Structure formats: C-alpha cells, structure tokens
Amino acid sequence: MSPTSVSARAPRAPKPLYRQFGAQVLVAMVIGLALGYVARQMGPDAAGNANWLVQTLATIGSTFVSLLRALVPVLVFTAIVASIANLRELNNAAKLVWQTLLWFAITALIAVFIGIALGLIIQPGLNTAVAAEAAKAPASSGSWLDFLKGLIPSNILGLQASTRVSDSGATTSLNFNVLQILVVSIVVGIAALKVGAAADPFLAFNRSFLKIVHKILWWVIRLTPIGTIGLLGNAVAVYGWDALAQLGWYSAAIYTGLALVLLVVYPVLLQAHGLNPLRFFQSAWPAIQLAFVSRSSIGTLPVTERITEQNLGVPREYAAFAVPLGATTKMDGCAAIYPAISAIFVAQFFGIQLGIQEYLLIVFVSVIGSAATAGLTGATVMLTLTLSTLGLPLEGVGLLLAVDPILDMGRTAVNVAGQALVPTIVAKRQGILDEATYARGESIEALDVADAVPAQ
C-alpha cells in the first residue's frame, strides 16, 4: 500500500473549531437565517423593488450556484469516462455493474413505497392552508417523450439553446443537458476500452484533466459557507415562514419520509450486511453535510467519491464508477420520496381519486424515470413527469414551489447518502470491501479530503 493511502496516513491533529468546515457552515446557516429575517422585515424599497439586502443575498447565492453549475459538464464527462476506464481493472466488472443498478432500484423502490404510505397517512393535500389561486402551471415540464428525446445527444457537448421573446426583445440562453452528456460519456468510455492501447494517452489526459477539475471544484467548495448565507438568507427573505406554515403538513411528510429512508432504511440495510450503521454515518457525514447546504449531488461528487474510498473502504476502481453514476441517476430523495408524496398531495388538493393503477405508475416513474432528474431540470421536472404520467393537473406544481428550496436541502442530503451506501453494500456483497477501513469509521473534514487524494 502506498504512503499516501488511508491506512498509512498519520493521525491528524484536530483543527480549532473556527477552522472546521462543518462549524463554518453551521455558523453561516445561522447568519443566513438572521440576515434573511432582517431583509424580510425591511420590506421593498421606495420603488417597490427588492431592497438592497435581498438583492445582495440573492446575488451571493446565485453566484455560488452558478460556479457549481459551470463545472458540471466537464466534471460529469471526465468522471464517467474515468470510471468506465477503471472497470477494466476489475475482474468481475459486469457483475458489479449489474449489482449496482439492482441496488439503485431496490433502495428507490423502498423509498417510493414509504412516500406513498406517508401521503396516504398524513394526507397533506387535505391538511393545507394554501389557496387554490396559488396553483399555476410550471414554466417547464417533463414528459416521457422529452426524456426519450433527451437521451439522444444533439451535439457532442450536450449543449442546448433556448430563446425567450419579451417586450424588451429576444434573449437566448445556453444550457447543458446532463443526461446527454452522460450518454456521450458512457459511449466515449466504452469506445476507449474497445480501442485498447491506442486510447491510453486519451485516458491518461482524461485522468489528469479530472484532477484539475477536482481542484477547481475544491476552491468553489471552500466558498460554501458564504454561499450558504446567500442561499438560505434569500430563501427566508423571499418566502418567509408563511409559505412553510401553509404547507406544514406537506413539508413534514417530505422530511419524515427522508428521515425514515436515511435513519431507518439505510441503517437496516447496513446492519443486514454486517456493517455498523454508526460507522457509515460517521464516515459519510462530510458528503451529507455538504450536499445539504449546496443542494447539488454533482457538486458534492468529489467528496462523496473520496469518503466512499477512503472512509468506507470501497475499492477505488469500483467507487470511481459507482459514485459518479449515482450522482447523476441515484436520487432517493428527489426521484422517489418527493414525487410520490407530491403527486398524492396534488391529487388530494384537487379532489382526484387515485387507484391501484395510479400508485403503480408512481412506483414505475420513481424507479425507472429517476435518470430524468439529471437530464432535465431537477426534482421539479421529475414531479411534472410524474403528474403528467398520472394525468394530474400540472398547476399543482405551483402550489409547492414556495417551499422547494427548503425541501431540496434534505432531498439532496438523502440522495448523496444513498450514492455512498449502494457502493458500500455492493462491495461488501462481492467481498471486495476493506472492512478494516470501514470499521475505523474515520470522519475527514470535507476540505481535508482534498489533501488525502491518493495518486492514481
């Protein structure tokens, strides 16, 4: 084992509290809540526009998110290509791939059944104070046709242009379709394996480029406390607590479902495989915490991959495949709990009775269609995909948008926990998990993981 490996790493002296990343984020959350409350109390300016504090918080938050999104295309491409290339170092690669996809589906299936049960028990659509006038169709929606068309790359970059015409003129914006980038990456990675030795220079360049992208992303991650102040403060200033109070039962149902998956289902699965759940959460905490505040599975990808390898004991060759794939397609929070409860909420709110067929469709969409979360516009479009499949009014999405940022934090944390859990379980089942590393239950600060990256 190399000198830079986990087992040979010298114990780290604990950092002072003010330098610990987790403590910085918690302080930032408190500051964000306080500034958001102050900004909301200030009210609009003399011209009726958002006051300077709201604008400042919004700018800080949107800038942080933009920095994360700017790295998504190149990060997805290089990570997926590298992960597929790493499969050639594994003797049982085909079985690992199959087992990974199977456990993605199993955990999603359990999560969606929990969501359906909570929707029927809590009945959030009947216990809400939100007015029917708040219902409005979303600006964008998803359908199975969109999903299938989105699988076919229109260009090698997965680049899409959209033009919006208004009274002031036409504006064109460029967006990357992550699902198309995923497809291109998989094809390029498989082709590189088939080419053989001739592709070695390309794969070496890709690994080097991935390291550069990781380093840049670490610089962005260091801004997380500042970004947290802007994101949380703006959410409080714009939405306040009124919307959360009106949708209290709905929000409680979502977070109850997320808590059951994270704190009951995952520990049971770990225990069933002879793994200590406390050790898992101790090791995975840096990734879960970062996911909660950043609301980005892909932005958290380097941390998730490193803690899976170095804290949980999953072999690098396998973790480098399973974690990037999970970051784009494995979403128990956004694609299982959330659409199940939300669809039932919308049906109850509009007085529409759902039968066995509709509940089976919810299960199908959640387990099979979760990749649409990566290819389209996150959990909101995943919800419109579910509603359109069930024939429910898309106007129901407008009822839920007010609390979406608050819910998205919990959803993303559960997503990332699942993205670390599945490789750990599969590695254990296949007998390739380093159980000594897992048993140590190390907890490396999110920013310290960058310093512990082994040579590849």
Per-residue model confidence as pLDDT tens digits over 251-263: 899 999 999 999 9
With a threshold of 0.85, does the pTM exceed it? no
Q: What is the mean pLDDT of residues 105-130?
A: 87
Whether 2 shows a pLDDT value over 50: the answer reads no
As given in the structure block, the two tokens for residue 217 are 């992303």
As given in the structure block, the two tokens for residue 223 are 């801004």
Instruction: Give the pLDDT band (50/70/90) at residue 358.
Output: confident
Instruction: Give the pLDDT band (50/70/90) at residue 147.
Output: low
Q: What is the mean pLDDT of residues 344-361?
A: 88
pLDDT value of position 265: 96
Top mean pLDDT of 131-140, 152-161, 270-279 is at 270-279
Whether 168 shows a pLDDT value over 70: the answer reads no
Instruction: Give the pLDDT band (50/70/90) at residue 3.
Output: very low
Whether 408 shows a pLDDT value over 90: the answer reads no
When the pLDDT of each residue in the chain is averaged and rounded to a whole number, the result is 80
Which DSSP string corresponds to 223-273?
THHHHHHHHHHHHHHHHTTHHHHHTHHHHHHHHHHHHHIIIIIHHHHHHHT
Quick one: DSSP state of residue 161? E
Instruction: Give the pLDDT band (50/70/90) at residue 244.
Output: low
The burial of 49, by beta-carbon neighbours within 10 Å (0-12 exposed, 13-18 middle, 19 or more buried), is given as exposed
The burial of 263, by beta-carbon neighbours within 10 Å (0-12 exposed, 13-18 middle, 19 or more buried), is given as middle
Contact predicate 341/250, CB 8 Å: yes
CA-CA-CA-CA torsion sign (364, 427, 275, 323): negative
Whether 280 shows a pLDDT value over 90: the answer reads yes
| Percent residues over pLDDT 90 in the chain | 24
Whether 166 shows a pLDDT value over 70: the answer reads no
Of 334 and 118, which is predicted with more confidence? 118
Q: State the DSSP H helix or E strand holding residue 382, giving kind and residue range, or none if neither.
A: helix 379-390
pLDDT value of position 56: 92
Q: What is the mean pLDDT of residues 393-422?
A: 85
**Distances, alpha carbon 69 to alpha carbons 72, 76, 175, 226, 234, in Å:** 5, 11, 10, 17, 19
Three-state DSSP at 93 gives helix
